Amino acid sequence: MATLDLAFLGDIILDVPDPDHWIGGIAPATRAADVTIGHLEVPHTNRGQELEGDVPAPGANPDHLDALARAGIDAVSMAGNHIADCGAIGIADTRERLDRLGIAYNGAGASLAEASVPAFIERGGRRIALLSYNCVGPEISWASDTRAGSTYVAVRAVDGGPSRPQAELDEIDPASLAAMQAAIAEARAQADILVVALHKGITHRPAALAPYERPLAFAAIDAGADIVVGHHAHIARGIEFHRGRPIFHGLGNGVVVTHALSPAQDHPARAEWAERRKRMFGFEPDPAYTLAPFHPEAVNGLIGRVRVAEDGTLEAGFTPIWSEPPGRPILATGALAQDVGAYVDAIGIKAGLAPLTMRWAGDRFLLGQR
């Protein structure tokens, strides 16, 4: 079997014109990998009704998915807290366009059974499987036997209320965890490499990991996952290994360009959230980042990288990326790459993860356990 180079991209939102421009700054890396997997944050549809229960994201132009194919994106995870924001129609339209483009996907569908079907990619004589799970609510966005939505792992809120965005979540529901592990074991039997994507964590807060995040990632690897990737926080998180398998706790923004988070808009709920999140998380966005008004540290990002050798051993690392105003990510090079690498190292240590060795290798940092 040939050596495979895998790349993993964080949240993707392309709901402004000229999507090829916005993803173009990182496309050389996503195209160069043998397989690139990203997280599709919002539905791509011109139809549907707003889902109640969270601040709804607008549907993105379905034509913008074509830019993902042109950038070499081979598969997307879809299990997240916004994929059902335009209802069942939004999910159906997104899946239809992805099918037409030949982009594999997992994590959202017209029912839980449909959403749960693993994505498979054949490359270099190997079969790669992708499973994805939303861990943050709102529960109305979770799929059921009769409701469109996302696959999920239920995590209980400290206050006893439902799982929902911005709630303090800490305890994984045992039945939900068992269901995830059973699905991983089943997919493991059908694949040479198994990737599990978790939409998890605390948004907009540097370094912090919620109490459930590490145990959930460990449980995925214990059940058979080779690689765990995280997203949702819209800011990078640290990296660690469990049983020699890499866990990217948060890839940060892959490419997120949207007007939905700007205070200057005519959607009352989104305008209110744009102001409330600054108070909740104690940050003021850089006014130059009109299309990505996130925490100032969110300009630091990464593309997760894993090389799978002929004998199946894994070599993990990351390619540093940087968001330039008004929100376009680019591949970081030179001193900027070293700065982003130092940031990722520092936030991992601050979050209590074991220190890692880091070595620059041309287009990425290679990681090891100390």
Does residue 310 lie in a domain region?
A: no
> Does the structure show a pLDDT above 90 at 163?
no
Does residue 312 lie in a domain region?
A: no
Cα–Cα distance, 4 to 229 (Å, whole number): 17
* Poorest-pLDDT segment among 128-137, 192-201, 282-291: 282-291
CA dihedral of 189, 125, 68, 344, whole degrees rounded to 10: 70
Average pLDDT over residues 314-340: 98
Structural contact between residues 91 and 110, judged by C-beta atoms closer than 8 angstroms: yes
Cα–Cα distance, 281 to 285 (Å, whole number): 11
Band (pLDDT 50/70/90 cuts) for residue 188 is: very high
Q: What is the CATH number of the domain that holds 357?
A: 3.60.21
Does residue 188 lie in a domain region?
A: yes
Q: What is the pLDDT of residues 17-35, one digit of tens each?
A: 999 999 999 999 999 999 9
Structural contact between residues 68 and 30, judged by C-beta atoms closer than 8 angstroms: no
Does residue 37 lie in a domain region?
A: yes
Q: What is the pLDDT of residues 60-103, one digit of tens each?
A: 999 999 999 999 999 999 999 999 999 999 999 999 999 999 99
pTM for this structure?
Answer: 0.96
- pLDDT, the chain, mean: 95
For position 176, what pLDDT does the model report? 97
For position 303, what pLDDT does the model report? 98
Joined together, the tokens standing for residue 84 give 């059902």
The residue behind tokens 């997307």 is: 76
Does residue 313 lie in a domain region?
A: no
Does residue 89 lie in a domain region?
A: yes
Does residue 242 lie in a domain region?
A: yes
In whole angstroms, what separates CA 260 from the centre of its chain? 18
> Does the structure show a pLDDT above 70 at 53?
no
For position 370, what pLDDT does the model report? 83
> Does the structure show a pLDDT above 80 at 361?
yes
Average pLDDT over residues 271-278: 80
Band (pLDDT 50/70/90 cuts) for residue 162 is: confident
Band (pLDDT 50/70/90 cuts) for residue 318 is: very high
In whole angstroms, what separates CA 243 from the centre of its chain? 22
Q: How many domains, the chain?
A: 1
Does residue 350 lie in a domain region?
A: yes
SS3 296: helix
Joined together, the tokens standing for residue 301 give 């990002």
Burial class (CB in 10 A: 0-12, 13-18, 19+), 85: buried
| Range(s) of the domain holding residue 146 | 4-304+318-369
Q: What percent of the chain has pLDDT over 90?
A: 85
Average pLDDT over residues 42-56: 80
